[in-house]
Amino acid sequence: MDPQNSTEAKQLLNHAKTLRLHTGNLVNRSRLKKKCPGSTSEELRDCIQATLNDWFSTNKVSSKDLPDTLDCFLSEATDAITPEEREEVKVSVKLFLCESGQSSIRDAVEMACETLAVSQLDSVIIAPPGPLEGDNQSLAHLQPAWEELEALVRSQQIAAIGTSDLDKDLLEHLYNWAQVKPSSNQVNLASCCVMPPDLTAFAKEFDIQLLTHNDAKELMSAATFQEAVQEGAQDLSIADWRLEWVLRYSVIVKSRGIIKSKGYLVSARKASP
């Protein structure tokens, strides 16, 4: 980064209150250091660094034009879906909430729809923040986020909603309480090599699809995110940013079952002094 860009980047980061980032299509991994990252967390860190580095290197912003929200993306890397191909593809999303807040869910869904140029996401799986311990506490923990998802289903911004890492009892409690029932539940491969029989039986009875994943419980720590931002911004001294949410999307060609594009959307806010 040349000195002029470095100064402008520092001004942008110092002024901005919100950072929004879109990695672009990762099916083409030419921009990433590691073509085959060992984990989702490692992939996300590489994506944040590469996107910020490319964005700061190619964008010039006047010191007179300092936005409160910094949108970091490369125009040539967008994954917009054309109206002609919309019926041919399925848009699947997993939303990782790094802190509580129902507005984060709506913000993430709206950003995904805008980024992909669609009016509706076909499926959204929620990974809420914090541990899920104790049935009653866990259901109460899930309810606010689920109610927001239900509202987005009613407004037709989402077609189907699912959960992540729920055991049979909690999935049953959620199913019985919810107005819009979960259509899927992800199970972490690291926690069980074989699907629990009681979970399998319940899912089959109520037509809930069981999926597998290998995402870490904490997708990215606050310290790792700040390091990724700092490295992506060429070691600039940065303010204390907190990660709000991470959305991972996949655009799948229905007839062929192949991934046309995948990527991440990230939102962070500057921590209050």
Residue 223's pLDDT band, with cuts at 50, 70 and 90, is confident
Task: Report the percent of the chain where pLDDT is more than 90.
Answer: 47
Query: Between the CA atoms of 63, 66, 72 and 74, what dihedral angle is there, to the nearest 10 degrees?
Result: -50
Is residue 110 within 8 Å of 73, Cβ to Cβ?
A: no
Q: For residue 240, list its beta bridge partners.
A: none
In this predicted structure, the answer to whether residue 33 has a pLDDT above a threshold of 60 is no
Q: For residues 20 and 120, give the distance between their C-alpha atoms in angstroms, rounded to a whole number.
A: 20
Is residue 149 within 8 Å of 158, Cβ to Cβ?
A: yes
Q: Quick one: residue 130, left, alpha or beta (phi over 0 = left, psi -120 to 50 = alpha)? A: left
In this predicted structure, the answer to whether residue 192 has a pLDDT above a threshold of 80 is no
**Domain residue ranges in the chain:** 3-270
pTM given for the model: 0.89
Residue 119's pLDDT band, with cuts at 50, 70 and 90, is very high
Q: For residues 188 and 230, give the distance between their C-alpha atoms in angstroms, rounded to a whole number.
A: 31
Q: Quick one: residue 134, left, alpha or beta (phi over 0 = left, psi -120 to 50 = alpha)? A: left
